[in-house]
Structure 1
Amino acid sequence: MTEFVRSLFGRRARRRWIHLILGGALAMPYVFVGQLVVGPATDSRYVFNDLPLQLLSFAVGLPLATLTAALFPLTRSLEAGAVRSLCGVDAGLLARGPARSRAAKGRAAAWFTLHLGFGGVIAGMSLAVPPFAAFLTALPLLVLFGGKQSVELPEPLEQTWVLALAPVAGVATLLALAGCAAVSGSLLARWAPALLGPTPEDRLAAAEARAADLAVRNRLARELHDSVGHALSAVTLQASAARRVLDSDPEFVREALAAIEDTTRRTVGELDAVLGVLRDGDAPGTAPAPTLAADLPGLLRRTRACGLRVTDTVGVDPDALPPVLSREAYRIVQEGLSNALKHAGDRTAVTLRIETADGHLVITVDNPVALTPSCRPGGGHGLRGVADRARLLGGTAEAGPAHGTWRLHVRLPMKGPA
């Protein structure tokens, strides 16, 4: 019994009832237009007072509602919002945004017509049935205290047993109204995903949007890993090396502290740039991204301050490289040196070669294979980022042991794909 009452008058049923009444309110302008057609066509001056003519006006107005929904794509967005809020339909089952394709517009128009059709009937019943039910419920009292002559009733209703059953009929009428509203609301809620749900084109657009968002997130993750991750690794090793020679080599300690200061200052600027992109999709006024042309000497100097012995051979003019290639090449070199610091340890000889071959910029980083690698759990994102950068530029990246050393070998086309 409780479930039955809840299905008729529960919170969900009431909200769906409101949704239907809103549909009836939206149907009123179309009914008025229908009256302008039905009145002259039937030679009737009082369409509003004639129920059959009112129903005919309603039937004439519904096709106009269908045409309106088909012509205005935003109808789907508005109706989907109302369905999510009032009908209890999961938002994931409904499309977002206006209808673009012909099929989507047709489905939205069908839904709008159903909403206004069911809503007009239920709204009309909601206006007419409660006063009638209240009259039936109070009828025995009116007859008891005012006499039968106080109420004009048809002769069959003047019988005593009919008057006694009038309140029951009134309550049954209200229950019938609630049942019609509940069934209509349930039907609309069941049909909503089919008519207001995403079309294949909508799903494709949503997948493309998710892919674009994922690409941006991956790019930000690479930038944070390569800038902040490299800086933290370098600062940790610089501080560790300085602590070990604090008493025996003060000059090296001063150089290490200066490198730590320089590294952190540059990293704060790069972090501001990345956070600017994360907040606004752009980073106006923030520090520019480091490039091979402008920042390679500083990167080598800070890396050597960690105790790493770097032998560099640059067989190309960095200033002649395209800006995008110069920026990505810097990040790749940075990651290669960072990996050497983390996995081979300080006081290790590293060879860096940057040269051109067959129209490609070739970057090679060689360092001894660590006997006890210090790779932290969850690592490996750096090499993945290098591979992503190379692939986006149309190049290749290889990393692994080669002849007793660990080699990072990257080839980037000097003129990459658009």
Structure 2
Amino acid sequence: MPRLVGPPLAGVTYARLLHLLVGWIFAGIVLMIYPGTEQRSLDEILMKSIALDAVLLVLVALIPAARRAEGVQARLLLVPDREEDIATEPSRTWADRRRTAGWLVGRVVLGSSVGFTLVFAAAAAYDRLTGPDALGYLPFAPLAALGLGWFLVYAGRLQLAMAVRLLGPSPAERLAEAELRAERLLERNRLARELHDSIGHALTVTVLQAGAAREVGDQAFVARALEVIEETGRQAMEDLERTLVLLRETPAGANGVATEQPGIDQLPALFDTARAAGSPVEAHVEVPPGTLPGVLSRESYRIVQEGVTNALKYAPGEPLDIRIALRDGRLELRCANRLPGGGRSAAGVARPPVGGGGGAGSGGGVGRGATRKGGKGLRGIRERATLLGGEAAAGAAVPLEEGNGEWVLTVRLPLRLGS
């Protein structure tokens, strides 16, 4: 029962009815001014009135602010489920003006139809209920009222559907909004990766250095470890500050100083940090300075940084082989490290697993390296490569000669973005 009588009695139905009747009133005013109703046939009155209404409404639609006024009114009276479905922006293109004209004409036509229906229904009800057979029609009055109520409900819904279709954002506006949302999402994801890569690398190096300093009694080694921890922490704080500047969107972010990102030229300092953490690094960077675009240089640095961080985390003390070169119009990055065997480092010095059992640096062998496939770091590398139009692959590779296998990260990026 509430579903049957609820919508016809809802306040939103009568708010939409008011919106409909405004269109009917407009048509009525025009009709009274011209052509008038005296000494004219009904067909002539209707034809001239409709023609004049249409001309006036099209002229009104040419005014950019008309679309805004109609949108605000539709939001207030038609009560859409989502207000953003009805735009409140002025007309910017001829397509907006055409849609506004269609809305105005459709609104007046639908409103006039509803208005005349209500008048005829009221007149018919009055005739029936005041006639000699009024008692016979009286039992049907509630059903007639309910039917008229549902007629108003569907008329209001039709008006709302017209408003969403004709006053809603244009395809160009929807595309621009979708692109803006996608751009913001990509920016948030990029900042999240920046924080993950930078802070993750700093924490990994700090944990390794602190663990090694605790186990080794050499004061010179401890001093060097503390120096590396200090430098790594300072770099992480700078990266964090750059990211916060971007998040806050302060004026400092626009001058290019506070938000300057590391590039491929800063890789030697990254390799020195890895060597200080106890992992020998053999690097071959065959990229002339200034060759890479800024975005590609920055993303390449972050990719290599994540590869080095993974190696330090899952294979501490094992040698790293890093090769960066330009081949066939593409930038190729390769980061490989031996899978740990028995917790021995390349120098033959026994090193305890950092963090005890079950930590990020505990355990060994291929099984531990295989867990990297589901990590956020590798997923971030793949996302970076995909956004740049490239590809990334990572996994354990066992060479033909005897010895430990390798974990290899390979990334190929086009020099021209989007190609």
Q: What is the TM-score of this pair, normalised by structure 2?
A: 0.67
Stretches of structure 2 that go unaligned for 5 or more consecutive residues are: 341-364, 400-404
Q: Would you say the 8 A contact 1:65–1:112 is kept in 2?
A: no
Equivalent residue of 2:34, what SS? helix
Higher helix share: 1
Partner of 1:352: 322
Structure 1 53/255 Cα, relative in aligned 2: closer, same or farther at 3 Å? farther
Partner of 1:380: 375
Structure 1 355/111 Cα, relative in aligned 2: closer, same or farther at 3 Å? closer
Structure 1 244/87 Cα, relative in aligned 2: closer, same or farther at 3 Å? farther
Cα distance in structure 2, aligned partners of 1:172 and 1:258: 88
Cα distance in structure 2, aligned partners of 1:389 and 1:288: 19
Cα distance in structure 1, aligned partners of 2:150 and 2:329: 77
1:116, distance to aligned residue in structure 2 (A): 3.2
Q: Would you say the 8 A contact 2:270–2:305 is kept in 1?
A: yes
1:334, distance to aligned residue in structure 2 (A): 0.8
User: Which residue of 14, 19, 22 maps to 1:22?
Assistant: 19
Cα distance in structure 2, aligned partners of 1:359 and 1:107: 48
User: Which residue of 217, 230, 233 maps to 1:264?
Assistant: 233
Cα distance in structure 2, aligned partners of 1:214 and 1:175: 49
- Aligned residue runs from structure 1 range 82-231, under 5 A: 86-87=77-78, 89-91=80-82, 94=85, 109-119=101-111, 178=149, 181-189=152-160, 208-209=179-180, 211-231=182-202
Q: Would you say the 8 A contact 1:30–1:65 is kept in 2?
A: no
- Equivalent pairs counted in the alignment come to 382
1:391, distance to aligned residue in structure 2 (A): 5.0
Cα distance in structure 1, aligned partners of 2:56 and 2:243: 50
Equivalent residue of 1:38, what SS? coil
Equivalent residue of 2:337, what SS? strand
Cα distance in structure 2, aligned partners of 1:409 and 1:175: 71
User: Which residue of 335, 347, 371 maps to 2:306?
Assistant: 335
Moved more, 193-202 or 330-339: 193-202
Cα distance in structure 2, aligned partners of 1:358 and 1:173: 79
Partner of 1:291: 263
Cα distance in structure 1, aligned partners of 2:15 and 2:173: 29
Q: Does 1:406 align with 2:400?
A: no
Structure 1 169/362 Cα, relative in aligned 2: closer, same or farther at 3 Å? closer
Stretches of structure 1 that go unaligned for 5 or more consecutive residues are: 45-50, 137-155
1:79, distance to aligned residue in structure 2 (A): 5.5
Identity of paired residues, percent?
A: 35
Cα distance in structure 2, aligned partners of 1:302 and 1:172: 84
1:337, distance to aligned residue in structure 2 (A): 0.7
Structure 1 373/88 Cα, relative in aligned 2: closer, same or farther at 3 Å? same
Q: Would you say the 8 A contact 2:27–2:108 is kept in 1?
A: no
Equivalent residue of 1:216, what SS? helix
Structure 1 55/228 Cα, relative in aligned 2: closer, same or farther at 3 Å? farther
1:4, distance to aligned residue in structure 2 (A): 4.3
Q: What is the TM-score of this pair, normalised by structure 1?
A: 0.67
Partner letter of residue 406 of structure 1? Answer: W
Structure 1 228/128 Cα, relative in aligned 2: closer, same or farther at 3 Å? farther
Partner letter of residue 305 of structure 1? Answer: A
Partner letter of residue 238 of structure 2? Answer: G
Moved more, 169-178 or 54-63: 169-178
